[in-house]
Structure 1
């Protein structure tokens, strides 16, 4: 979907030609995109490491699975949290809007102040980042499809089928990509 506006809240879906193990079959939620570059988190890679094991107090706030997600190869020792405000909730301190009710959560903010305002939350170890113009080049080269996100994409209990499901709901030929075999040469 070249030509689709790259902006915060959109999804980058890895195309079959993207073989980098950090991103093969990944779905990335863009958290920020402007003339200086882009930043996002891979939303379909749970790590298996319980959040409660590394971030005291947040384990009971995050959605199932209650594990850290591998957000990307940049700063994997750091954590970014994405949250969804409950309808009608005021923005609590420690919440920075991305788009609509979706926003970044400051993990240094008191859990007890944020938890009541949140409908969903996910924590990512690391992130994906692109310098100015880099993402646009990768899109033009055919490495990424840019598609609209839906809130449930970010907070799925079972993210294993997310890549196929996101593509399946797209219009036209893009939906066909969701049925490709793992090795097209075997087809």
Structure 2
């Protein structure tokens, strides 16, 4: 079986071996950029206890905000599937886009033209310098999967990591059912 390489639009899935890493344990990251100079992505399965209107008071919207990663956690980012509403969006993978004109977005959110399944907001991002991600892959911190979800924005956050491990099979099935704090076992 060929081992997948990092690529824009693919998923990084945290290996069970990094359960002690608070930034990335049980994380699934959508890579939005991957080049020789850097890699950037957002953790898809880590909702925070904030809504968008908690962070941006002039937006009347109760969409959940997610922890995107440990870098620049005071900045808001978003991925979406509505490029026709948001000029300057960058396509990440089939039908999923990153960023765009925030003023247009505010207007569309306040006019209720955007559904929660159309967009996901993040505080911070996950970033890697040149060779850093390759080093982490070589030390079995992550495995890579193709994004086979028609709408990655509508995934089940609670079971997403477990589901990916079950799909991988073998010893991963054991880890898929392990408690989140293995020291309590």
TM-score bin, normalised by smaller chain: 0.7 to 0.9
- Runs of 5+ consecutive residues of structure 2 not aligned to the other structure: none
- Runs of 5+ consecutive residues of structure 1 not aligned to the other structure: 61-65
Q: How much has 1:162 moved relative to structure 2?
A: 1.1
**Counterpart for residue 39 of structure 1:** 40
1:24-59 CA-partner distances (Å, limit 9, x unpaired): 111111110110120111111111111112123372
**Counterpart for residue 3 of structure 1:** 3
TM score, norm. by length of structure 1: 0.80
Shift of the 100–174 alpha-carbon distance from structure 1 to 2, 3 Å rule, reads: farther
Whole-angstrom CA distance in 1 between matches of 2:174 and 2:36 = 30
The alignment covers a number of residue pairs equal to: 176
**Counterpart for residue 131 of structure 2:** 133
TM score, norm. by length of structure 2: 0.81
Q: How much has 1:79 moved relative to structure 2?
A: 1.1
**Counterpart for residue 73 of structure 1:** 70
**Counterpart for residue 63 of structure 1:** none
1:155 maps onto 2:130 in alignment: no
**Which structure has greater strand proportion?**
1
Q: How much has 1:179 moved relative to structure 2?
A: 3.1
1:115-165 CA-partner distances (Å, limit 9, x unpaired): 758761000000010000100110110000111122444333x41111111
Q: How much has 1:167 moved relative to structure 2?
A: 2.4
1:52 maps onto 2:53 in alignment: yes
CA-atom RMSD, angstroms?
Answer: 2.8
8 Å contact 1:2–1:140 — kept in the other structure? Answer: no
